[in-house]
Amino acid sequence: MVLVLLATIPVVALVNSLHWRVDFTEERAYSLSPATVKMLEELDDRLQVKLYFNRDIEGAESLLPARLVIEDLLQEIERRGAPWVSVETVDPTTDMAAQRDAEHVGVTPMELQSQDVGGFSASLLYQGLELRYQNRSEVIPFLTPNEFEFAFTVRLAELQRAQRPVIGMVSDEPLLPPQMPGAPRQVPEGRIYEQLRVILGQRYAVRDIDPSEEGAIASDIVAIIVACPHKLSQAKLEALDRYLAEGGHVLVLQDSDYVDPATQATELRPTGLESWLASYGVVVGSEYVFDEESVQITVRQRVVNTNTGPEVVPVRAAYGFGLLASGDSLVEDHIVTSRLEQVAMFWAHPLRLSALPAGIKAETLISSSGQSWLLPGDSSLEMSEANTKALRDAAYATGPGKPYALAAALRGVFPPNFEHEGLQPAEGLMVVISNSELFHNVTLGANSSGNADFASNLLDWMAQDAGLIELRSRGKKKRPLLDFASSYIDAQGGWTQDASKNEELDRDAVSFRLSRVRLISWANVLIPVVVVFVLGMAHRSFHRRRARNPFQPGGQS
């Protein structure tokens, strides 16, 4: 026993150093993803990973478990990338050379304030990383455990690639002025998709192109975004038609009008793509989709008397034209949308798919909720209390609601609409979104996570980089519990046009939910107790019977 006691500690220490583990999660959420492992296996030169971590983390002790997770992942990276990967940890707070390096490569420390007996004291927290491969380097200025693998893999992909893939952008936005040395670049007003360029710019080179120009659609272009242009010229359309017919990937933001997000002023904007899209069976309606699943807007302020005096509080109302696609509205079995939380779409139009050409397959990516209606294209878009109510009344008056497609992907060999010399047909991909404001600077800024993730996922998928989509969405898979209230409402035939009946239905749904929650909770608490009690009684009566028959096998004698 003494020997076992003495041997235990070295055995535990030895096994700990092996780092062997099995990940049982459905998405292998805590293991390196296949995309990362593949990149590590493809290394053919030394990859130096320099971790800038200060050993003394006074004031941020709660970060210690997170640091262990990062170190644990780096050990796995080193093991999977052997013999090419080497990891070195330096402490810039004690090593001057490391501090200079950190400053030089752009690893910035976080300043921490902590309070002690002598007052406040400030300390620096370094938690960055530098990757060096074939004389090139990439930096992650500050690491977080949740985003670590994605950030690492994206940078490794950058290092392994000789050149960034290019996304071509076709729009009517003003061009950027030339960069003046030493001066910040001025973004002209009207460049409404600049935020989209910034987001995609992390992975791609985004280039404004005129497809009709000779050589504009170069071979390094992986996809083209046609962002709601104004009356696209015949020459540009012909070039796009050829690109698609020869297997290109095109994302079309098609809208019949442009709505200024700040003023809600509308401007009719025919894109010139209408008949071209119609030839593939895609029509974007002029109506607006009104959805019950929508954003809450502040419609006015109200003064409320509180204990501390009068207070101004905002009054909010659902704005049906600002629909929030989530849950069933985001197609569950498509890699682009399956793990998205939410996508916000303002002033979306219905996307109609019919009479697709032979060989073209379409799949919906986003639709509105089942409680959606179509309202005419000349409806008021005003974000006021009276208008939100008027829009709802108008929507309910049109009959029962139903879902409408808002984004769809078409795949196949697209038949050309124009005569092209020496055309080489190949399978292409076209994604159509019936909302030009989806990737507007304002929308991407307000709903940065959902819409930005959708844009990144979509372009990664179109650029055939599915591995990164999986990595980006890992651990984000939604696993919602059954919503008793919604299922009750559905079972009763859904919402009606009668407001008082809806109120009653809402009350019944809430009480139904409460009763089900109570039933499930107490059943789980009490059933084991009852089962144990019954078993106990059975055991007791068995013993009593045996005691009464002492000469039976096993009885008392």
Sequence letter at residue 110: M
Which one of residues 24, 215, 301, 354 is an interface residue with another protein (CB under 8 A)? 24
- C-beta of 230 vs 518, nearer to another protein: 518
Virtual torsion, Cα 363, 369, 370, 374, nearest 10 deg = -90
Show the site string, 131-170: x = touches another protein by CB under 8 A, - = not: ----------------------------------------
64 or 304: whose CB is closer to another protein?
A: 64
Q: How many CA atoms lie within 13 A of 231 on its CB side?
A: 1
Among 82, 315, 531, 547, which residue sits at the site for another protein (rule: CB under 8 A)?
531
- Evaluate whether 458 touches 336 at the Cβ level (below 8 Å): yes
Q: Does 527 bind another protein (CB under 8 A)?
A: yes
**Coil, strand or helix at 298:** strand
Q: Give the whole-angstrom CA distance, residue 123 versus residue 21.
A: 36
Please report whether residue 11 would count as binding another protein according to CB under 8 A.
yes
Q: Which of 104, 118, 525, 544 binds another protein (CB under 8 A)?
A: 525
Q: CA–CA separation, 30 vs 508, rounded Å?
A: 42
Interface pick for another protein out of 215, 399, 480, 554 (rule CB under 8 A) = 480
Question: Minimum distance from CB of 540 to another protein (Å)?
Answer: 9
Binding window for another protein (CB under 8 A); candidates: 168-176, 500-508, 525-533, 548-556: 525-533
Among 524, 544, 550, 551, which residue sits at the site for another protein (rule: CB under 8 A)?
Answer: 524
Asked if 219 interacts with another protein (CB under 8 A), we say: no
Pair 417, 279: CB distance under 8 Å: yes
State which residue, 162 or 481, has the beta carbon closest to another protein: 481
Q: Give long-range contacts, CB 8 A cutoff, 24+ apart: 75-83.
A: 75/19, 76/19, 76/31, 76/32, 77/32, 77/36, 77/40, 77/49, 77/152, 78/49, 79/19, 80/32, 80/36, 80/37, 80/40, 80/41, 81/40, 81/41, 81/43, 81/47
Tokens describing residue 485: 């209230």
Residue range at the interface with another protein (CB under 8 A); choices 193-201, 421-429, 502-510, 516-524: 516-524
Residue 382's nearest CA partner among 444, 300, 443, 302 is 300
Considering only 30, 84, 142, 512, the residue that binds another protein (CB under 8 A) is 30
Where in 482-511 is the site for another protein (CB under 8 A)? 482-483
Yes or no: say if 20 and 98 are a contact pair by the CB < 8 Å rule: no
User: Is residue 529 at the binding interface for another protein, with CB under 8 A as the rule?
Assistant: yes
| 8 near another protein, rule: CB under 8 A | yes
User: Do 106 and 142 form a contact (C-beta atoms < 8 A)?
Assistant: no
Instruction: Establish if 183 lies at the interface with another protein (CB under 8 A).
Output: no
Our CB check for another protein shows the closer of 183 and 529 to be 529
Closest distance of CB 1 from another protein, Å: 4
Query: What CA–CA distance (Å, rounded) separates 225 from 452?
Result: 15
Q: In the complex with another protein, which residue's Cβ is closer, 213 or 332?
A: 332
Contact characters 96-115, another protein, x per CB under 8 A:
------------------x-
Q: Does 59 bind another protein (CB under 8 A)?
A: yes
Indicate the residue among 46 and 539 with the shorter CB distance to another protein. Answer: 539
How many Å apart are CA 60 and CA 454, to the nearest integer?
34
Instruction: Decide whether 393 or 483 has the Cβ nearer to another protein.
Output: 483
Interaction between residue 265 and another protein (CB under 8 A): no
CA triple 475-476-477, angle to 5 deg: 95
Considering only 15, 235, 265, 386, the residue that binds another protein (CB under 8 A) is 15
Size (the chain), residues: 557
Instruction: Report helix, strand or coil for 63.
Output: helix
What's the closest the beta carbon of residue 557 comes to another protein, in angstroms? 18
- Which of the ranges 40-48, 57-65, 322-330, 548-556 carries the binding residues for another protein, by CB under 8 A? 57-65
Output the six-digit token pair for 113. Answer: 């304030």
Among 497, 532, 541, 545, binds another protein (CB under 8 A): 532
Smallest distance from another protein to CB 481, Å = 5
Structure tokens at 44: 């053919």
Buried b (16+ CB within 10 A) or exposed e, 464-495: ebebbbbbbbbeeeeeeeeebbeebbeeeeeb
Q: How far is the CB of 546 from another protein (least distance, A)?
A: 12
Contact flag: residue 122 with another protein (CB under 8 A): no
User: Are residues 350 and 324 in contact, defined by beta-carbon separation less than 8 angstroms?
Assistant: no
Asked if residues 206 and 167 have their Cβ atoms less than 8 Å apart, the reply is yes
Q: Which residues would be at the binding site for another protein (CB under 8 A)?
A: 1-2, 4-5, 8-9, 11-12, 15-16, 18-26, 29-31, 55-59, 61-62, 64-65, 68, 114, 479-483, 517, 520-529, 531-533, 535-536, 539
